[in-house]
Amino acid sequence: MFAPSDHKDRPYRRFMNSEIQSTQLVVIGAGPGGYAAAFHAADLGLQVTLIDLDQNPGGVCLYRGCIPSKALLHVAKVLREAKESSEWGIDFSSPKINLEKLKSWKESVVGKLTGGLGELSKQRKVTFIQGRASFDDSHHLLVQPNGEGNQFRIQFEQAIIATGSRPFIPSDLDIESSHLWTSNQALQLPEIPKKMLVIGGGYIGLELSTVYSALGSEVHGVEMAPGLLPGVDKDLVRVLSKRLEAMLSSIRLNTKVVKLKEKSGGLVATIQNEKGEASEEHYDKILIAVGRKPNSSGIGLNTTSVEVSEKGFIKVDEYRCTSVPHIFAIGAALDYISEIGLANVEKRIRSLTDFLIKQLKEEGF
């Protein structure tokens, strides 16, 4: 399949470089799926080009997911423990939150880890290009570098699509408003809203509810299913639900948000209970965390014979091979849980995440 080369002598290229005309392996997307695959392939001796929109490898997990959310959950834990410690006879005065300082600390955590991955790319002589890639045909990619620079074309022998996913917003709720946040905006900590609605009782909605309620927001949660964290062991969910009920202002199950509209510096949500009764409620900010969709559109898959499912997930076999034998796909762009079960790639993503979190803990975080 792959032929190892003497690529170790090649210089590391940090940014767009139109000299790159061909590569043995190109990896599109440098999240935990893409960078792990790229590093592994480079360790095996392949000449690897890794392309991502961000400045360094890391993907959603490091820039807009696991790492910033865990950094902020740590802050939430400290704030709650300080509050609860009065029960043990230790009183702290009310915390003063310096949002700008908190943001820059969180950014520094992200920067340290993504910078570290940039260094690891260099050490492995992986060519990292910051830009947007799309297929031109099944052996060529078009790359639009970030910032200045013209689009250029790369020929590849093998490709791995690791473009991940983005927040999903149902069309009924997809309105243009700065008061409507996804996890991307919420993790940037633009402000601490007074009153906030979190739509979705999955882990992303619950993590961010925990963070914002600890920071001082009045947080209300709604979930359309009869329980939080659908699919998770009910005994565990029971314990967590109790804790969340104490932290949040309300959590409503079997409840659906059916409409949103902007009003008086915030949003009005039309909320329907299980009996079908609707009420209108005003919030300063609404966070929508009802799922994610794969990044499979806009990457030129139509110029190849790579097949996608109705929901846009890239179809692969048990070797993560798409319908084109030299093009593979991994990570969140696949519907791997329902189609092929939890397999090695996912385990690898998890173990890398665990490793990064362990690293943070060792730094006293």
Ligand X SMILES: Cc1cc2nc3c(=O)[nH]c(=O)nc-3n(C[C@H](O)[C@H](O)[C@H](O)COP(=O)(O)OP(=O)(O)OC[C@H]3O[C@@H](n4cnc5c(N)ncnc54)[C@H](O)[C@@H]3O)c2cc1C
Residues that bind ligand X (CB under 6 A): 28-34, 51-54, 59-61, 65-66, 69, 132-134, 162-165, 183, 204, 295, 299, 331-332, 349-350, 353
What's the min distance (Å) between Cβ of 114 and ligand X?
10
Nearer to ligand X, 271 or 285 (CB): 285
Closer to ligand X by CB, 144 or 270: give it: 144
Residue 38 or 46: the one with the smaller Cβ distance to ligand X is 38
To ligand X, the closest distance from the beta carbon of 87 in angstroms equals 29
Q: Residue 5 CB: number of other CB atoms within 10 A?
A: 12
**CB nearer to ligand X: pick between 277 and 363:** 363
CB 174 within 8 A of CB 196: no
Helix, strand, or coil (residue 221)? strand
Nearest CA to 177 among 303, 116, 265? 265
Q: Which is closer to ligand X, CB of 84 or CB of 317?
A: 317
Q: In this structure, what is the dihedral angle of CA atoms 251, 252, 258, 262, given to the nearest 10 degrees?
A: -30
* CB of 74 vs ligand X, minimal distance in Å: 12
CA atoms within 13 Å, Cβ hemisphere of 229? 15
CB-wise, 208 or 271, nearer to ligand X?
208
Strand blocks (E) in the chain:
22-28, 48-52, 127-137, 140-145, 152-161, 165-167, 180-181, 195-199, 218-222, 250-252, 256-263, 266-272, 278-283, 285-288, 292-294, 327-329
- The smaller minimum CB distance to ligand X, of residues 72 and 267, is found at 72
Q: 3-class SS at 130?
A: strand
- Give 308's strand partners: 314
CB of 106 to ligand X, least distance (A): 13
Q: Minimum distance from CB of 253 to ligand X (Å)? A: 22
Q: How far is the CB of 181 from ligand X (least distance, A)?
A: 12
- Closest separation in Å from C-beta 361 to ligand X: 14
- Closer Cβ to ligand X, 209 or 271, answer by number: 209
Distance CA 103, CA 69 (A): 12
Stated length of the chain: 365
Residue 64, exposed/middle/buried by CB under 10 A (0-12, 13-18, 19+)? Answer: buried
C-alpha span between 190 and 180 (Å, rounded) = 12
At closest approach, how far in Å is the CB of 166 from ligand X?
A: 8
Quick one: tokens of 55?
């400045």
